[in-house]
Structure 1
Amino acid sequence: MNDGTGDASQASVFGRLPLTIGEREYGNPGAHATCFAYAIATWCFLVGSYAADLVGAVEGTVCLLAGNVIGVFLTTMPLSLGCQRYGLEQMDFCKTAFGQQGSHVLLLFYLVNMLGWSGLLLVMFGNGIYNIGNALEMHPGKWVVGAGVALGIWLSYLIALRGVHRLGMVNNFVTPAIGLVVLYMLYMLFSNFGWEAIAAAEPLDPTPDAALNYAIVLELGIANGFSWWGGIGFIARNTRTRRAATYPQILQLGLASGIVSSIALYSALVVGSDDPTEWMVPLGGIAMGVVALAFVALANISSTALSLYASGLALRHVPVLRHRPWWQIIVITIVPCSLFVFWSQELYDFGDAFLAYNGTMYAPISGIVFVDFFLLRKQRICLRSIFDNAPHGAYHYWKGFNPLALGGVVLGQVVYFALYNPATGEAHWLFTYMPASLAAFLVPALLYWAGMKAARVPVSHTPRGAADGLLAPNI
């Protein structure tokens, strides 16, 4: 006899209902493993290769480490603490600042981020297959890259279909393997070249302005940190303690990602290529290079599956999709990724501009959510009101939108592009002193705080008893 418990659990794990502690997948080791696999397998290799175009090893290491940690800390703190405490998916969590309908505007940004990175990872997977073929002297045609993207979509679909538990099983295998690959790359770099040669290597394609090169790479590091906004809430929601929600995100997505990005920077500088899949064989030889490429390819599939799963949860906010079968939701998420099958290299070449664009999206959102959760609401929200779309709801604001928050996002993007245009490379002189992402974080955050105070917008978390009665927060 079905008592409804299984249905409720499915609605939480594959839907938007708050997760209870018993439904959460990750303890501290699991959260570290997932964050480590997610960081290493995804864009840190790409970020390091982009940095190699502009700066050398020493400058790049400073920028990537500092930038990653700063960006991750600012975007992680409200999401990891709030989503973990209340078991919320982050689109729901953001309703406290943006309103019931306003959070749907963020959904578009969220999907562009998650599915855009998924496409780039799938091209890396296809490039890995292509370079394995070249290493084995099979000399495949470039069509193999597109075919590899299609294969990666299918594999990612199969993993995402089974939920967080299957993702955890895959990461338990992938994480140690990819960690060994990174250590082996580092060993081969220092044994074959040495630090002096790495430090002396010239950037691949710098601009004439050395200060601008430095500023752009610092911006890439910070924007990379903010880019994790799309996955932070999903991971935190599935952790059992606040420690497991916070420390793995900062240490792995921030520090470890910066370290691996730096190793990727060194590899690109000495090999002379900004394509991460072209480093493995020159650094490790044919046998070890092919093995390394295979593990990196698997890790990219794991990260893509995680992105598809998180995107599927976000799509549950669309009313017509709210009760659709989970497999149909995942199919919808892979439709945009199919573009990378046909225009693999063309879309892949926009990766550095896309990374900076994430800073324009998530820096102002992060600033507003940071101020809203810590300064205005003192880390307390009304959980029941998150799911109350009635006009009298605590987070309804004006017709479901909070104009102050949405206006802040627009203002943040204006501030960002006034300082730096990632598409054209044009920069204001202030950009060498103030990273565009930090300005886009601070200006909207301060104006949102001042606007909410001046307008006397109610920010109370009452009825407190109703919220705690629905799901006791995990303090």
Structure 2
Amino acid sequence: MTSKPSPLVNDPERSPEAPGHRYSPRLYNEDIAPRGDEGHWRTLNLFAWWMSAWHSLGNYTAAVGLLVLGLMGWQLAVGLCLGVYFIYVASNIMGVAGQKIGVPFPVFARASFGVFGANLPALLRAIVAVAWYGIQTYLASVVVMVLVLKIWPDAEALTEGGFLGLSPLGWYCFLGMWLVQLAVLYKGMETVRRLSDFAGPTIWIGMFALAIWTLQRADWQLNWNYHVGDAPLEFWPAVGAILAAAFLLTSNLSGPILNFADFTRLAPSRKTVINGNRLGLLVNGIAFCLVSVVIGLAALEVYGKAIEDPTDLLADIDNVTLLLLSIVLVAIATAGANVVLNFVSPAYDFCNIAPHRISFRTGGLITAVLAVVITPWNLYSSPAVVNLFLGGIGALMGPLAGIIAADFYLIRKKMIDADALYSDDPNGKYFYGRGTNMNSIIAFAISGGIAICIALVPEFSAIAPFAWPIGAALGVASCLLVNRLRPNLAARVDDLRTGA
């Protein structure tokens, strides 16, 4: 193949209807076609994407909630910044690969799992994304409900009773946020880009305003030595807790790391991806983590405890104008983060199941409907369910990333024939046996099984925070080992012969 992906979308020689076309309708539609010669997501777009990705209620809660590890405030800040760096490295690995090949994640996964076997990693990612999409939509609706009750106190009557665990007012706010996000996705990826371009920078206004407001109430006092527990951790336990915080933050974004190709495939060059990640991930991510810790510690001075839910802070704002501005910004930020992190991915993943029947828009509609069916407010209110369901499936994101990265970088030497990813020819490079590469399935069974045990079995609770890096490392090792014991070189040899 050449170094650039095939300019498929506007090429009449390669349209699905062209005579002699070798693209299967079971594997292709225009929504998941390779990028054309020019990508239109630039450095600033990826910078804004990461800004949107970071600024959500869920990420703030995850960051401040790590104080339960017993870390001091400054130790938590160190751990979070280290986690941002780990995410940066992993995102470069997956993002650069996606940019080079120019296809969305489920199509990219076909090289390592087979043209039909790729539905396994795609659907696992979709399950996690749908659940978090529903949860984040619910959290955003709670913020909107706070505003409604402040402006219209009589709406308190609508908080009584309800259906499926949600009050009438809760349903109105939830469905309102649900419809807004669906409308964005329905207009396509260009609208998603515009939303992230707007939401990313906008939320910093709200974050800084909330930080300054909280600091003023705390008389600008911060206790960076605050910790949970009777005594601060000793040196080595503290080091372990800092690393645990870093990898828990990494695990929190393990899904978006895995499917980062959905966005970087639209970038024109490797340099664009690296620069976008450096600005939007490293610089912005570290700033977000530090501001989150500052807000948490300032809230500690005001309330006597670190407030993990920023909604509680917003509800305490007496000035209606400031409250309106803050809630609108937080709602925009959460919707922006939700769309880029948890809506686009399952839309592509469901589309990949049957491209001839399911478009990107239809995949988005399926995602939205499922996000209501699972009643995310009930899911979020049950820590046991979140831990067992999302924690268990989320632990599989590391092994999947490890296998796909090992296959691309170490086995195929960064050389993939993008055209063959859309072929169901039994003799095709990525068809393997019945469309599935059993080598990757076996590697995933090994690494994924161990990762789930680490994440969920109580006896392994001490190393549970490290489930993602252990799973990713095992994914790489098992992929290399299985391919060594069960050589499957035909596709690799063809790739190396065509060159990159």
TM-score, normalising length from structure 1?
Answer: 0.83
Pair 129,448 (structure 1): closer, same or farther in 2 beyond 3 Å: same
| Residue pairs, 1:437-452, within 5 angstroms | 437-452=468-483
Structure 1 residue matching 2:32: 3-state secondary structure: coil
**2:392·2:452 contact (CA, 8 Å) conserved in 1?**
no
User: 2:138 is matched with which residue: 123, 126, 131?
Assistant: 123
Deviation (angstroms), 1:92: 1.0
- Name the residue aligned to 1:297: 331
- Deviations, residues 297-346 of structure 1 (Å, cap 9, x unaligned): 11222233333333222222222x53446543332121111136x55154
- Following the alignment from structure 2 to structure 1, what is the Cα–Cα distance between the partners of residues 420 and 408? 15
| Residue pairs, 1:411-450, within 5 angstroms | 411-421=446-456, 427-429=460-462, 431=463, 435-450=466-481
- Following the alignment from structure 1 to structure 2, what is the Cα–Cα distance between the partners of residues 288 and 13? 47
Pair 412,266 (structure 1): closer, same or farther in 2 beyond 3 Å: farther
More deviation in 51-60 or 78-87? Answer: 51-60
User: 2:210 is matched with which residue: 182, 185, 202?
Assistant: 185
Pair 414,41 (structure 1): closer, same or farther in 2 beyond 3 Å: same
Structure 1 residue matching 2:492: 3-state secondary structure: coil
- Name the residue aligned to 1:471: none
- Following the alignment from structure 2 to structure 1, what is the Cα–Cα distance between the partners of residues 177 and 122? 24
- Name the residue aligned to 1:229: 257
- The count of aligned residue pairs is 456
- Name the residue aligned to 1:17: 33
**2:415·2:499 contact (CA, 8 Å) conserved in 1?**
no
Structure 2 residues without counterparts, runs of 5 or longer: 1-8, 17-24, 160-165
Structure 2 residue matching 1:395: 3-state secondary structure: coil
Deviation (angstroms), 1:100: 1.6
Pair 129,420 (structure 1): closer, same or farther in 2 beyond 3 Å: same
**1:198·1:266 contact (CA, 8 Å) conserved in 2?**
no
Deviation (angstroms), 1:90: 1.0
Are residues 1:50 and 2:65 paired? yes
| Residue pairs, 1:270-419, within 5 angstroms | 270=300, 271=303, 272=305, 273-282=307-316, 287-306=321-340, 307-319=342-354, 322-324=356-358, 327-339=361-373, 342=375, 344-350=377-383, 353=387, 356-357=391-392, 359-419=394-454
- Name the residue aligned to 1:473: none
Deviation (angstroms), 1:18: 0.3
Structure 2 residue matching 1:279: 3-state secondary structure: helix
Deviation (angstroms), 1:236: 0.4
- Name the residue aligned to 1:146: 171
User: 1:158 is matched with which residue: 172, 177, 183?
Assistant: 183
- Following the alignment from structure 2 to structure 1, what is the Cα–Cα distance between the partners of residues 296 and 229? 8
More deviation in 379-388 or 49-58? Answer: 49-58
Structure 2 residue matching 1:223: 3-state secondary structure: helix
Pair 286,43 (structure 1): closer, same or farther in 2 beyond 3 Å: same
Structure 1 residues without counterparts, runs of 5 or longer: 469-475
Pair 347,14 (structure 1): closer, same or farther in 2 beyond 3 Å: farther
RMSD (Å) for aligned C-alpha atoms: 3.5
Deviation (angstroms), 1:119: 1.0
More deviation in 409-418 or 27-36? Answer: 409-418
- Following the alignment from structure 2 to structure 1, what is the Cα–Cα distance between the partners of residues 390 and 359? 32
Pair 219,82 (structure 1): closer, same or farther in 2 beyond 3 Å: closer
- Name the residue aligned to 2:110: 95
- Following the alignment from structure 1 to structure 2, what is the Cα–Cα distance between the partners of residues 186 and 13? 46
Q: State the AA in 2 paired with 1:178.
A: I
**1:99·1:395 contact (CA, 8 Å) conserved in 2?**
yes
Pair 253,352 (structure 1): closer, same or farther in 2 beyond 3 Å: farther
- Following the alignment from structure 2 to structure 1, what is the Cα–Cα distance between the partners of residues 365 and 46? 27
Pair 346,326 (structure 1): closer, same or farther in 2 beyond 3 Å: closer
**1:25·1:165 contact (CA, 8 Å) conserved in 2?**
no
TM-score, normalising length from structure 2?
Answer: 0.80
Q: State the AA in 1 paired with 2:422.
A: F
- Following the alignment from structure 1 to structure 2, what is the Cα–Cα distance between the partners of residues 227 and 310? 9
The percent of aligned pairs where both chains have the same amino acid is 13
Q: State the AA in 2 paired with 1:236.
A: T
| Structure with max Cα Rg | 2
- Following the alignment from structure 1 to structure 2, what is the Cα–Cα distance between the partners of residues 40 and 51? 17
Q: State the AA in 2 paired with 1:370.
A: A
More deviation in 237-246 or 342-351? Answer: 342-351
- Name the residue aligned to 1:457: 488
- Following the alignment from structure 1 to structure 2, what is the Cα–Cα distance between the partners of residues 282 and 426? 42
- Deviations, residues 216-243 of structure 1 (Å, cap 9, x unaligned): 5343112124232354111101212212
